[in-house]
């Protein structure tokens, strides 16, 4: 593949992924922004996590993350507490309400995406099945 062809493909992929992400988010009725949902999802996946580690994983400046976590805490979606290994550090964990919200968001997104995939023809679905490991490899490198 020439560098020009690769640049075109990368541009198309970027636009397609952005549009797909926006389309999936449009179905969200939680009232939370993408940054808050991303932080909540990371806390749900990682278990209790230090604020600094969460900021790094979400690529957020610490003051921004502090505001996001405060919002999530106000809505009883996360709770903060001391790190038993280092009392100076703060851990953020998901609450049952937060986990319930994440479960509902994931289910709704999966349902919407499943309907869209079902509307593809058989050849397109086969191509998509082969592309998933490639997309996973792209995200694993972040």
Domain ranges of the chain: 31-140
Query: Given this model, what pLDDT does residue 5 score?
Result: 85
Return the DSSP state at 141: T
User: CA 92 to CA 49: how far, in whole Å?
Assistant: 5
Q: What is the pLDDT of residue 141?
A: 57
In Å, how far are 61, 85, 95, 134 from 129, measured between CA atoms? Answer: 36, 43, 34, 10
Residue with tokens 């979400």: 58
Q: Looking at residue 124, what is its pLDDT? A: 97
- pTM equals 0.79
Instruction: Give the three-class secondary structure for 87.
Output: strand
Q: Give per-10-residue mean pLDDT for the chain (142 aa).
A: 88 92 82 91 93 92 93 96 86 96 92 95 96 90 54
- Alpha carbon 79 to its chain centroid, in Å, reads 19
| pLDDT for position 76 | 97
How confident is the model over 19-40, as pLDDT tens digits? 998 888 887 778 898 899 999 9
Fold for the domain defined by 31-140: Arc Repressor Mutant, subunit A (1.10.10)
Burial class (CB in 10 A: 0-12, 13-18, 19+), 99: middle
Average pLDDT, the chain: 91
Q: For residue 114, what is the enclosing H or E element?
A: helix 96-118
Count Cα neighbours of 16 within 13 Å in the Cβ-side half-sphere: 7
Instruction: Tell me if 95 sits within 8 A of 76, measured CB to CB.
Output: yes
């Amino acid at each position: 593949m020439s560098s020009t062809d690769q640049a075109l493909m990368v541009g198309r992929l970027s636009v397609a992924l952005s549009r797909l992400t926006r389309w999936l988010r449009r179905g969200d009725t939680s009232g939370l922004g993408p940054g808050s949902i991303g932080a909540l999802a990371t806390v749900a996946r990682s278990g209790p996590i230090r604020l600094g580690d969460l900021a790094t994983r979400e690529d957020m400046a610490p003051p921004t993350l502090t505001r996001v976590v405060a919002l999530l805490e106000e809505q009883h979606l996360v709770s903060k507490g001391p790190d038993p290994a280092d009392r100076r550090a703060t851990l953020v964990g998901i609450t049952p309400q937060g986990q319930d919200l994440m479960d509902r968001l994931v289910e709704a997104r999966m349902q919407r995406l499943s309907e869209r995939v079902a509307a593809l023809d058989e050849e397109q679905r086969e191509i998509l099945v082969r592309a998933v490991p490639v997309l996973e490899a792209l995200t694993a490198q972040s």
